[in-house]
Each structure stands twice: as structure tokens, then as C-alpha cells.
Structure 1
Amino acid sequence: MRILVLGGTRFVGYSVAAEGVRRGHEVVCAARGEAGRVPVGARLVRVDRDLEDGLAPLVGERFDAVVDVATISYEWVRRALAAFGDGVGHWAFVSSISAYAEPGSPPSGVGDRLLPPKAVHGTREAMKDDPDLYGSVKVASEQAVTAAVGDKALIVRAGLITGPGDEHDRFGYWPQRLVRGGRVVVPDVGHEIQYIDVRDLAAWLIDGAEQGITGVFDGIGPSTPLPALLTAMADTLGANVEFVRVSEEELLERGVAPWSGPRSLPLWLPASHMYMGSRDAGPALAAGLTPRSLADALAGALDHERTLGVDRQRKAGLTPEDEAEILAG
């Protein structure tokens, strides 16, 4: 197959391209090429999706399948569909569970109410001011895909994506912290959490192209109560730790944020997003999404942590000094 990956130089796009190459497909990556290299065996075509004619370097090329990982721009999606939608046999769009309007309510499936669509070119700065903008752009992009390619579309609303190339430092914080050992601050909560390793998501997206998998799915692994997941991580790693459970109220009083950002505890969900880690993975699993073992997921996360540098300034998590201060209190 000839597969076009719109992206291909970082995280999800890179993993998809690498998996396509591994299976012997001809993979073309359309990207600026500034974020990194494409996998060995893939071909990079430099494009600028911010420009109306930014895909011009691909004019005349035809593809059996397209995988689009566009993150912030409806216009990127629209232009790609206009260029390749008519001739492609399968179109996969990586959306997000951030598209759902009520993450603080128990979910029932992919038919849950979505955020209002916003057909705009978002920016990361704008998304800081409007936390729902990312999800709203994803909704508008999903609608554009289904309108353009119909039943050839695979819409994957991904949850927390982990593994090699992860740029957000959330999942990786925990195995790296656990292998350090000692007393570990954890949130005293019981909510569920989910993740999917990027390599497993990529494999399923290529399966979709090969097998013609279509429809809308929550692309995520099974849910697990957060305390049980952290315990399983520690057991799998053989970590010598003592979990110190701290109430949400005390954490907030001490300036610890849930989920992400400086001085935070990743995977702890605020009440407003309590059910973000409880999506129904059943349909995606039945359609072939196959999560790897926890041991493999942790090994990939730790390798990535070491590649980045374990003493770096993190985008999520507590520093040793932060944690010591909380434990002392």
C-alpha cells in the first residue's frame, strides 16, 4: 500500500510511519520536517499546512490510505481532504476524547454529547485561554472527515497516549518516580484512568488501512482505578516504595495541580474531568486495538524518560524538592 502520513516526524505520526514501513508499505510523510526526522524507510515531502497551497509538493500523487494526526487546525484537515479525499480508499483521523462535552459525567459511548465544533485554526496560546478549543477543533475536523470521505473514515478519539516520543511527561512521571524508591506522594482518590501506548495505537491505525476498519471509536486501553494502576506499576518494576496518600484538599492547599503542569501529580483527575479515564474501550478492543503488557508499556516509558534526561525540567510532575516539602508537612 501507499500510505500518506500527514505528520510523521514526532510522536503519533512518527510511530504510525514507522509501523507502516515495518510492514513493508510505501510510506510518505508530509511535514515541515522541523520537529525531527521521519523513520528510516519513509520518504519526507516538505509541506507547510498553514498555507492554502501548502500541500502543492504532493500534487499528482495518489495514496491507498491517509492517516492524519492534525492537532490544532481545522484548516489543515480541510485542505488535506480537498487534496486527497476523492481518491483515497481509507482515511484515518486521530481525534481526542477531549471532544466530549461532559468529562465530569459517566460516559455511555461514542454517542455522548460533543463540544460545539469550531472550524478554526487554533494555536497553543489560544488553547491556554480556552481549554475547550482543542476539543472543539477536533469535533469540527471529525465532521469534515466524515462529510468528505463518508464510510471510508476511521475516527479514533484517543485518550492518554504514552510511550516513546511522549511530549507531555504525564505517564512517564510515575515509573521514573517509582524506580527512585522511597516515600511517594500519591493523590488519595479512587477514580479510574486509562492509557494507550503510542506503538499500539499506531499498529491499529495501520491495521485500519490494511483491513478497512471504519467508524468512530474511543482509542484507549481498559480503565483501572488509579491506586490499583500505581500499585501494579510498583509491583511490575519491583520498586521499593511506600505510597503516602494525600487528600485532594491538602494537595490543592499546597499548590499541587491535578493532571499536568509544574508542581502537579499526573493522572490525578479533577472533579470536572472525573470520568475522562472511564471511556468504553470495548468496541476498539473488539475491532483489534491490542494494548501491550504493563511491563512493556513501562519499559518504553522509562527508555523515553532516560533519553530525555531524568533530571530535566518536566512539563508534569513533582520535583524531588516539591515532594519532600509535602512529605515534611
Structure 2
Amino acid sequence: MRLLVLGGSAFVGRCVVDAAVERGWDVTTFNRGQSGNGRDGVEVVLGDRLDPATLAPLRERDWDVVVDTWTGIPRAVRDSAAALADRAGQYTYVSSRSVYQPPVAVGADEAAPTLASSPDAEDGTYGEVKAGGELAARRAFGDRALIARAGLVLGPYENVGRLPWWLTRAARGGPMLAPGPADLELQYIDARDLATWILDGAERGTSGVFNVVSPPGHTTMGELLASVVATTGGVASLRWVDPEAILAAGVEPWNDLPVWIPPGHPYTEFGLHSGDVSRATAAGLRPRPVDETVADTWAWLRSIGGQPPHRGDRPTVGLDPEVEARILETAGAA
């Protein structure tokens, strides 16, 4: 298979490249070279998605599949997809479940209403620009487009910092705030499982729109944090605190305490841990156990000195240690 990855040097794109190389595919990446390149067996073409003139070399060749991980304004997807429509068999756009219009019903599938957007949009929220990217890919490739609406993405190479923050916090040791309830169901996808599913879909010619994330309850907050503590050597001790006490301290779910959205919080209207994934499961999605994702992320984090890369377009996540200490003391959990 001749694969072109638009991006390919960070997180999901890197996982797609790694998985394709392991399959023996002919892999080319197209990016600005700012996040580092150099994997053996991968051809690198330098260019800027926001400058359509740099796409010219891509029009001179044919590709079996294109994978696009762009997260910015939709016109970059519009221009790339239009340039490749007659040169590629399939176009896979890695989108997000953030495209859904809130409130998202529990158990909502791919037919749920999405945010208004346009392939020509020059700005917008994360969900809106992703929705515009979907429209751009589908306009150029029609039924040859595969739209992978990923949920929360974790695993090695994560450049948002969610799981790395929990691992770093646990490695610091001592009493560790664990936001309840412990049986809170979580829904996420390991970037490597997302990559595998995308490449399998390319081989099968899969097209259409899919929620690509684990089933709700694939793990829980309790299972995730227990794995984090065990993986980092067991030097932290979990102190479970009810959501009310945490929220009363001004803590922002999802950002201050990554992954966590307590029952009844306004953020639940985005459906981040309650989506229907039966289509992707039927199409071969097989999420790995949470312990494997945690262990491999910790191994990667240690291999790079413990400081993960961070995307400039995302806020820094994690709870201030002083705030954590106050909550534990107030709740009598210190």
C-alpha cells in the first residue's frame, strides 16, 4: 500500500506511520518538519498545509490512501483533499467526537447532529473546525472518504498531557487526590489502536463516518488510577474524594483533573464518555486493556526524560499541588 500521511510526526500521525512501516507499506509524510522526522523507511516531503502551492509535489504521484490528522482551520483539509482527489484511492480524516452539537444524548451514534461549519472556515472552536474538515474531505472524496471521529486519545507520544500528568503525579508519591466516583465509566482510545483500525480500514476499503473510541466502561476512573499508581511503583496512595468537595474548590474537570468529568456536571452534555461505538466495533475496532496503555505510556515518558511534548494550541492540564493539598486536608483525606 502506498500511504501518504499529512502530518505524521506527532502522536496519532506518528502511530499511523509506525504501524504502516511495520506492515511494510510505502510511507510518505508531508509536514513542515517542526516536530521532527527521520524514521527509517519513511520518505519526508516538506510543505505547509496553509500554503497550497507547496502541495504541488503530491499531485505528481498516486496514493492508495491518504491519512489526514489536521486540527486547524478547515481550508487546509479542503485544499489538500481537492489536490489529491484524482491521485488517491481513499482519504481518511481523523476527526473528533467534539463535532457533535451539545447536548449529546447518552448513547448517541454517528447520526447525532453536528456543529455548523464550512470547508472554507477560517476560524472556529475545535469542534467546529473539525466539522469543517469532515465536510472538506467528504466533498472531495465522497464515498471514498473515511471519517474517524476519535474520542479521548491516550497512549505513547501523547502531546496533550492528560495521561502523562497522572503518571507524573503518581510518580511524585504521597497522598494523591483521586476524583470520585471510583466506578465512573471512561471512554477513550489508545492512539495505536486508532492507527491500526485506520490502516485495516484502508485495506478493506472502509468508508463513512465512525465513532472510533472504546465502548463506555472499557475502564473506570478507579481502574485507570490504580493502574497509574501500580505502574509508577506504588509510591502514591489514592485518596478518593467526592466530586462536590472537588468542585467546591474551583477545580475544572477535564482540564485540572484530566479525563475526569463527574456525573451531572455540565461537561457531560458533550457526551465524551457515553457514545455509541457499535459501528466501529463491527468494523474491527479492538481497544487494548488500560494497563497496557498506561504501562507503555510510562515507558515512553521515562525514555524521553519525563517531560512530554506539548501542543501549543492546547491548554496546559493538571492540578496545582497546593490546591490538591487543600482539598485533601478539607476532605480529611490527606
User: TM-score, length-normalised on structure 1?
Assistant: 0.87
* Partner of residue 230, structure 1: 224
Paired residue type of 1:167: N
Give CA-to-partner distance per residue, 1:179-207, whole Å, 9 cap, x none: 55542212234643211111111111111
Q: Distance in 1 between matches of 2:101 and 2:29?
A: 32
* Partner of residue 159, structure 1: 151
Residue segments in structure 2 that go unaligned for 5+ positions in a row: 311-315
Q: Distance in 1 between matches of 2:126 and 2:144?
A: 24
Q: Helix, strand or coil for the counterpart of 2:82?
A: helix
Give CA-to-partner distance per residue, 1:159-217, whole Å, 9 cap, x none: 11111210111123334434555422122346432111111111111111112121211
Matched, 1:300 2:296: yes
* Partner of residue 313, structure 2: none
CA contact (8 A) 1:234 1:241 kept: no
Identity of aligned residues (%): 38
Matched, 1:253 2:254: no
Q: Distance in 2 between matches of 1:149 and 1:311?
A: 39
Superposition map of 1:168-207 within 5 A: 168-189=160-181, 191-207=184-200
- Which is further off, 196-205 or 96-105? 96-105
- Which is further off, 15-24 or 191-200? 191-200
Matched, 1:101 2:101: yes
CA contact (8 A) 2:257 2:318 kept: yes
Paired residue type of 2:97: I
Q: Distance in 2 between matches of 1:202 and 1:304?
A: 18
Superposition map of 1:36-51 within 5 A: 36-51=36-51
State the Cα distance separating 1:101 from its structure 2 match: 0.9
Matched, 1:9 2:9: yes
CA contact (8 A) 1:155 1:214 kept: yes
Matched, 1:316 2:317: yes
- Which is further off, 224-233 or 69-78? 224-233
Paired residue type of 2:324: E
* Partner of residue 58, structure 1: 58
* Partner of residue 329, structure 2: 328
Q: Helix, strand or coil for the counterpart of 1:303?
A: helix
CA contact (8 A) 1:194 1:223 kept: yes
CA contact (8 A) 1:101 1:113 kept: yes
CA contact (8 A) 1:172 1:302 kept: yes
Residue segments in structure 1 that go unaligned for 5+ positions in a row: 128-132
CA contact (8 A) 2:77 2:136 kept: yes
CA 309–324 in structure 1, closer or farther in 2 if over 3 Å, else same: farther
State the Cα distance separating 1:76 from its structure 2 match: 1.0
CA contact (8 A) 1:153 1:215 kept: yes
CA 235–311 in structure 1, closer or farther in 2 if over 3 Å, else same: closer
Matched, 1:134 2:126: yes
Give CA-to-partner distance per residue, 1:10-44, whole Å, 9 cap, x none: 11111111111111111110101111114321110
Q: Distance in 1 between matches of 2:254 and 2:304?
A: 20
State the Cα distance separating 1:58 from its structure 2 match: 2.3
Q: Distance in 1 between matches of 2:309 and 2:14?
A: 24
CA 253–235 in structure 1, closer or farther in 2 if over 3 Å, else same: closer
- RMSD value, Cα: 2.5
Q: Distance in 1 between matches of 2:309 and 2:35?
A: 20
Q: Distance in 2 between matches of 1:313 and 1:209?
A: 29
